[in-house]
Amino acid sequence: MKKPLFITFLLIAFFASIIYGGLSDNQQAVKYYSTGVSYHKKKDFNNALMYYNAAIKKDRKFWQAWLGLGICYYSMAKYRNARLIFSYVLSLKPGEPTAKKYYDIMSPGSRKNAAALNTPKSKGDLMWRSACLPGMGQFYNGEIAKGYIYSLGFIASIAALIKYTLDENDAVAAYNNTNYDYADKYKAAQDAQSKIIVPAAVAVGIWSISVLDAYISGSDGKPSSALKAVEIKYDRGITVAWNIARVEF
């Protein structure tokens, strides 16, 4: 009776080693990892993070768990964490293609970086930036041309507003401190005051359009149909996870 049972166990261990071969020697870590992957596939990044972390705690050299963790952070737009983790993955497994790919696109100066960071940002993130300075939300969202148009337009209108305000102050002072040509100087002060309205209106307009544009361009936080699934395969050709990343390569 014992012999068939033992053979069965060996077979199970063999197939398990095929399926999870090269992952980790720590079965508990593998279990956490596989749970993390399943959450990851469901885009439940918080739970995925928790299980990846648990797996890493069990086996600190478990680079696949580190990779999953990095991709999770990337998907959550926490690029700084993601970059550090991918760097660590590359130190654990030099040349690992997936980690290298992510690491490269997040490296400063990388052209791909802009594309990577072009991940749709939340409406709130874009709007408060645009509210602070028109164009900043667009820059943050990777819309460089729009960012320049809004920011330079706003700065130019504010500069004009400041100039016209100074002119208006001078004209009003000229009227208040004159003792001749009252009508002409009062008219000049009125004209100077009315001139202020134009750049003020332009500034307010640009500000409003920038914030509105940020609202339209921003993501509402729901999964997008445009999200692209990235299949990550590890060595031995075994698919260890279907990681979903918000990235458009």
List residues binding other proteins (CB under 8 A): 158, 161-162, 165, 168-169, 172-173, 175-180, 182-183, 186, 189-190, 193, 196, 200, 203-204, 207
What is the Cα–Cα distance from 196 to 170, expressed in whole angstroms? 13
In degrees, rounded to 5, the angle at the alpha carbon of residue 72 between the alpha carbons of residues 68 and 76 is 170
With respect to other proteins, which residue has the nearer C-beta, 163 or 228?
163
Report in angstroms how near the CB of residue 150 gets to other proteins at its nearest: 14
With respect to other proteins, which residue has the nearer C-beta, 50 or 172?
172
With respect to other proteins, which residue has the nearer C-beta, 90 or 203?
203
| Sequence-ordered list of residues with C-beta below 8 angstroms from that of 13, at least 6 positions apart, any chain | none
Report in angstroms how near the CB of residue 161 gets to other proteins at its nearest: 5
Q: Which amino acid is at 81?
A: N
Q: Is the CB of residue 235 less than 8 Å from the CB of residue 22? A: yes
With respect to other proteins, which residue has the nearer C-beta, 106 or 188?
188
With respect to other proteins, which residue has the nearer C-beta, 126 or 203?
203
Report in angstroms how near the CB of residue 197 gets to other proteins at its nearest: 10
Q: Can you tell me whether residue 25 is helix, strand or coil?
A: coil
Report in angstroms how near the CB of residue 145 gets to other proteins at its nearest: 23
Q: Can you tell me whether residue 101 is helix, strand or coil?
A: helix
Report in angstroms how near the CB of residue 178 gets to other proteins at its nearest: 5
In degrees, rounded to 5, the angle at the alpha carbon of residue 201 between the alpha carbons of residues 142 and 168 is 125
| Burial category of 231 from C-beta neighbours within 10 Å (exposed 0-12, middle 13-18, buried 19 and up) | exposed
Buried b (16+ CB within 10 A) or exposed e, 54-69: bbbebbeebbbbbbbb
Report in angstroms how near the CB of residue 193 gets to other proteins at its nearest: 6
| Sequence-ordered list of residues with C-beta below 8 angstroms from that of 150, at least 6 positions apart, any chain | 130, 134, 135, 138, 206, 209, 210, 213
With respect to other proteins, which residue has the nearer C-beta, 191 or 220?
191
